[in-house]
Structure 1
């Protein structure tokens, strides 16, 4: 009888331990009080995380850039590129790069003469002259809202505050 009770006590102890661990795992999996975008993208909480609206003048410039070449499709494997100054000037680029517009601290639009809405973007904070080290900071890119031939670029300093930085942008087709 003592052996039976000892085995029963061991089974109960293991059962309680298993339920405790399972309950702890469930409690750890509960959602936090923060919104999911705030947890995944802390920068989304700060000011300037949204794109500025597309003005009528911006839309007209974008249409004019597309009309200049008839919105031709580019060949697969083509890479378009642009180098922009921190002030929002297009310094150099491939023939497809049309213009750069600065909207505010660290906010830029780069226009191309073809549809880039389904292309891959790569950007880096760069330097605009030879033999210099680029300023420290962060950069992000996204398709420009309501502009199929535009790319939106956001630059920040190392603390995450919007700041003007020169950059290099690649668009892979």
Structure 2
């Protein structure tokens, strides 16, 4: 009889614990302040994470850059660029050909989207970008940056910069391509 009561007490205790946890979860979901701070701080919907469409002019310019006379850096060396928030190429290594900022007023393009073109294929290289400037104080604005190979252009890199809250924003950046 004592074993039966111990089992029954265990089952009742587990049932009470389950109901308490379920009720607490429902109560926490009903209060928006109970959400994690990261959820509350994040903005609404972000623009799609897609690159702008490639134009025929961009394709021609990229092919012309591939025909440049410089050779790709040897393995272990780095190609680099410093690009301003308006897309101007401020400083760069020899293999960097150009930088441009996409126009946020064109459909499919958003603020903070850039393309950096080199004279060799970089689609299989290590890419890294960071928000940064080349001014005397070198204190960059707050923000985020993402880098990826440019869609359909093997010798270009796509860079997307955002504000600290995650919205698309024009930011200066430093780009590194590891060979």
How far did residue 16 of structure 1 move?
5.6
The superposition leaves residues 114-169 of structure 1 with CA deviations (integer Å, 9 ceiling, x where unpaired) of 11111111111111322241122211111110011111111122222222111110
Structure 1 length-normalised TM: 0.75
After superposition, the Cα gap between the structure-2 partners of 1:16 and 1:117, relative to the gap in structure 1 and judged at 3 Å, is same
Structure 2 regions of 5+ residues with no counterpart?
23-38, 104-110
How far did residue 69 of structure 1 move?
3.6
Please provide the CA RMSD for this pair: 2.9
Q: 2:169 aligns with which of 147, 160, 163?
A: 163
Structure 1 regions of 5+ residues with no counterpart?
25-38
The superposition leaves residues 82-117 of structure 1 with CA deviations (integer Å, 9 ceiling, x where unpaired) of 011111111111111110011032110001111111
CA distance in 2, matches of 1:143, 1:43: 27
After superposition, the Cα gap between the structure-2 partners of 1:145 and 1:13, relative to the gap in structure 1 and judged at 3 Å, is same
- Does residue 98 of the first structure (1) align with residue 104 of the second (2)? no
User: Which residue number in structure 2 is paired with residue 60 of structure 1?
Assistant: 60
The superposition leaves residues 33-71 of structure 1 with CA deviations (integer Å, 9 ceiling, x where unpaired) of xxxxxx9xx78941253211010000111111111148x
After superposition, the Cα gap between the structure-2 partners of 1:7 and 1:77, relative to the gap in structure 1 and judged at 3 Å, is same
